[in-house]
Amino acid sequence: MELVRMQAPFVLVTGGKGGVGKSTVAANLGVQLAREGHRVLLVDLDLGLANLDLLLDVGSGATLEDVVHGGLRLAECVRTGPAGLSVLAGGSGDERMGRLTDDQRHELLQELRELSADYDIVLGDSSAGIGPDVLRFAAVADRVLVVTTPELPALTDAYGLIKAMDQLSRRDGLDVPTPEVVVNLAVDVEEGTSVANKLRAICERFLSRSPRQAGWLPRSRSVAAGAAHRRPFALAEQRGLEQLCLRQVSGRLQRLIPRPTPALVS
């Protein structure tokens, strides 16, 4: 089946292990890019256990579940989030969403492609692990961000995810991008860099891939409080280390957004 490519840059945020904070990273990146003036569509692609609508406090409404099984169009499900961010919420608790067929997944991506024409960038927050949804969404992404923490189980699972992407690329002849790494809950920049370097070294040794570090985020009370109170830390007026680190990651993603062509002066 032919791969579906978005009409705007598509960035997938994922992780090998649950609990590493990938949804928090995705939500705050979406808000930060929207605050910087970009038209951003954030899609919850954790299809069976979605939670971005809760993290962003966008209220109730139609979800991807209503698109796949209810006949709605994606455009009918878009909600407005903080800073003007557009959000497509996923469903939660419907086991059918956890086992989409290839045709259903393809149709969902086709419709997302059409909707993407209205945006500067599309961010997807996938489920954790190496399931077929994660790998197929990664295969159509322009950039994949793998979120990990310094803990060994998270780092091991991050390597396993990158390995699974590499196997998919080789088996099916797909150009799956080498992921970039975001180290979450690091003590400081030194730990963030050390963790990313360890992961890169093992990927270079066993996969001949060299994942770059997209950035790091600190272990922070304001980050945890933001998640608990459903207010992204990207909205905080008082700028701390976590906002600086977030802007560094968002800056890398902004490079994917084409600049408008200046009008010719006659």
**pLDDT tens digits for 197-250?**
999 999 999 999 999 999 999 998 878 777 777 889 999 887 889 999 999 999
What is the DSSP track for 59-71? -S---HHHHHHH-
* Position 262 confidence tier, pLDDT thresholds 50, 70, 90: low
**pLDDT tens digits for 2-33?**
789 999 999 999 999 999 999 999 999 999 99
Kind and range of the H or E element at 87?
Answer: strand 86-88
The CB density around residue 140, as the number of other CB atoms within 10 Å, is 18
100, 46 contact by CB (below 8 A): no
Q: Domains of the chain: which residue ranges?
A: 12-254
Share of the chain above pLDDT 70, in %: 97
pLDDT for 266: 41
CATH 3.40.50.620 fits 12-254, yes or no: no
**pLDDT tens digits for 31-53?**
999 999 999 999 999 987 888 99
2, 110 contact by CB (below 8 A): no
Share of the chain above pLDDT 90, in %: 79
